[in-house]
Structure 1
Amino acid sequence: MAVFLAAVFVPFLSLLSASIQPAGAPLTGLTAPHGFHLENFVTAWTKAGFGRLLLSSGLVALAVVPASVLFATLAGYALATMPVPGGGKIFGYLLLGLALPAELTVIPLYYDLRALGLTDTLYGLALVEIAAFMPFGVFWMRSHFTTMPTGLIEAARLDGATSWSTLWRILLPNSRPAVTTLGVLYFVWCWNQFLLPLILIQDPARRTAPAGLGYFTGEYNVDIPSLAAATLIVIAPVVLVYLFFQRHFIQGVLDGAMKG
């Protein structure tokens, strides 16, 4: 446990310590701060224009997370409880999608989006991320629905409930931890996405927050204190979302582990 806690907190403390060091100071590892230079956060915010970048990240997450959770829930429910024609093959293709690295598909995606006129747009980026997140989401929700008591579904059908009402009135109220966990994971992945915005959006002003970290690295030097401050700005929303949904997230992970 001590090793695990050290692996989690030592890098964070190193980042926090570096963010309040004098600007331009060369740093290696966990270093005691020489004063509290909070101006690094002001420099990071203004130099990279994080107000604009955070807004872009928020808009993309607002589009990606609800849509991805909705589609994954519907697909997972159908594959778990209905005799979908070719359902096994569809699920196999989705599992194959989990094995494909983003680096393998990002260049073809760029040319496809360019042909559709969707490059340099947050809308195009959101569509790509929704599609990229589907394999895991469908796998997650299908696994959850297959472990739920079949008596619930059978009783609902005997009472004349449709598939739609069975999902929304019976299964989903008992699936809040699983859905919340999936939503938190989607938000973290969407917020931390770096490669797709970098390739699909050419205008730096339209990219998302992680891309702003590139403003603090040069060809021959790196402003480590400002970079550390910028990194804390980028990860702050992720930490807040995790803390807010912590109870449901942990319950969802534990349920998935025990049922698996």
Structure 2
Amino acid sequence: MITSRSEVFFGRAVLIAVLVLTVLPLVNMLSAALQPADKNPTGLSIPADPQWGNFVTAFETGHVLELMLSSTWIVLCVVPVCLVFATLAGYALGNIRIRGGRFLFLFLVLGLTIPFESLIIPLYYQIQSLGVLNTQWAIILPLIGLYMPFSVVWMRAHFIGVPRELSEAAHMDGAGLFQELRRIQLPLAIPSMSALTILLFLWTWNQFLLPVVLVADPLKRTVAGSLTFFQGQYASSIPLLNAGALIIIMPAIIVFLIFQRQFIKALLQGAVKG
């Protein structure tokens, strides 16, 4: 299909506009973070004397290291569990085509339509009954369940696109289900699994609502959930608040920039299969 110059120009203009709208808030936050701590910046401006020490102050007095360790522990508990169960379930629904699989798939799709906010009250009482309220498990256990519908649907979309001839050839060579999964299916699923890992990491790292509601101690929340802690501590210092926020969101930006190729590869792979 031949693309006209006007279409190319319009597409590039839209991408540039989206890029500017995405980067501008970060630039504004950086500008505010570099202002003197006792100053209240009102707009985007280049500071005459950048106060890089604001980041050190925010890191030390805001207990950022403890917050990142807490968030890392939550990520390490949520992401691998979701990835393993979603891969096995996606393989069962997409490749084996188990009985009742269509009903289970529709049930999972229905789970995608339920917003987190509508589950906060029942989750609170359920977590309280389990005796893990105000602990990190109050965040880990709900997130595993809430992420599972999307994760299974994502992995099913990959496995259902794998040619059936590969499975038939593996079975003719005497391979069992687990041998086929380990030697054939998993290597082919690495792009989809990598993209899912990135999404789960970003969603868990940036999870805000559940930690605020279910955990009272800010140092046991995710880093995003501890933004209220920063806001309360630096309410009178906008530069320090912006410095703390930038420190908190930087790991998520770095992870996405490092693994963006794998993420795009998985999306393109799904588009080609579709």
Counterpart selection for 2:81 from 51, 60, 67: 67
Query: 1:27 is paired with a residue of what secondary structure?
Result: coil
Q: Distance in 1 between matches of 2:110 and 2:258?
A: 33
Query: 2:166 is paired with a residue of what secondary structure?
Result: helix
State whether residues 70 and 221 of structure 2, in contact with CA within 8 Å, keep that contact through their aligned partners in structure 1: yes
Matching residue of 1:125: 139
| CA pair 28-91 structure 1, distance change in 2 beyond 3 A | farther
State whether residues 70 and 219 of structure 2, in contact with CA within 8 Å, keep that contact through their aligned partners in structure 1: no
Structure 2 portions without partners, runs of 5+: 1-14
Matching residue of 1:230: 244
Question: Which whole-Å deviations, capped at 9, do the CAs of 1:29-62 have from their partners, x for residues lacking one?
Answer: 4222232111221222233211111100000001
For the pair shown, the structure with the greater C-alpha radius of gyration is 2
Question: Which whole-Å deviations, capped at 9, do the CAs of 1:171-221 have from their partners, x for residues lacking one?
Answer: 1111211110000000000000011111111222322211222234359x5
For structure 1, which segment, 241-250 or 155-164, has the greater mean C-alpha deviation from structure 2 after superposition?
A: 241-250
State whether residues 48 and 212 of structure 1, in contact with CA within 8 Å, keep that contact through their aligned partners in structure 2: no
* Map 1:96-245 → 2, pairs under 5 A: 96-218=110-232, 223-245=237-259
Matching residue of 1:255: 269
Query: 2:225 is paired with a residue of what secondary structure?
Result: helix
Q: Distance in 2 between matches of 1:89 and 1:29?
A: 53
Question: Which whole-Å deviations, capped at 9, do the CAs of 1:45-91 have from their partners, x for residues lacking one?
Answer: 23321111110000000111111111111111100122323211111
- The amino acid that maps onto 1:43 is T
**CA shift at 1:225, angstroms?**
1.2
Query: 2:30 is paired with a residue of what secondary structure?
Result: helix
Q: Distance in 2 between matches of 1:89 and 1:27?
A: 55
State whether residues 34 and 52 of structure 2, in contact with CA within 8 Å, keep that contact through their aligned partners in structure 1: yes
Does residue 95 in structure 1 map to residue 97 in structure 2? no
Query: 2:46 is paired with a residue of what secondary structure?
Result: coil
State whether residues 217 and 223 of structure 1, in contact with CA within 8 Å, keep that contact through their aligned partners in structure 2: no
State whether residues 73 and 141 of structure 1, in contact with CA within 8 Å, keep that contact through their aligned partners in structure 2: yes
**CA shift at 1:154, angstroms?**
1.3
Stretches of 4+ aligned residues off by more than 3 angstroms: none
State whether residues 211 and 222 of structure 2, in contact with CA within 8 Å, keep that contact through their aligned partners in structure 1: yes
Query: 1:160 is paired with a residue of what secondary structure?
Result: coil
Question: Which whole-Å deviations, capped at 9, do the CAs of 1:88-120 have from their partners, x for residues lacking one?
Answer: 111111111111111111111111111111112
For structure 1, which segment, 170-179 or 198-207, has the greater mean C-alpha deviation from structure 2 after superposition?
A: 198-207
- The amino acid that maps onto 1:203 is D
Query: 2:31 is paired with a residue of what secondary structure?
Result: helix
Q: Distance in 2 between matches of 1:196 and 1:94?
A: 21
Q: Distance in 1 between matches of 2:145 and 2:206?
A: 16
Q: Distance in 2 between matches of 1:89 and 1:146?
A: 16
Does residue 53 in structure 1 map to residue 77 in structure 2? no
Matching residue of 1:22: 36
Paired residues, number: 260
**CA shift at 1:166, angstroms?**
1.0
Task: With the length of structure 1 as denominator, give the TM-score of the two structures.
Answer: 0.93
**CA shift at 1:151, angstroms?**
1.2
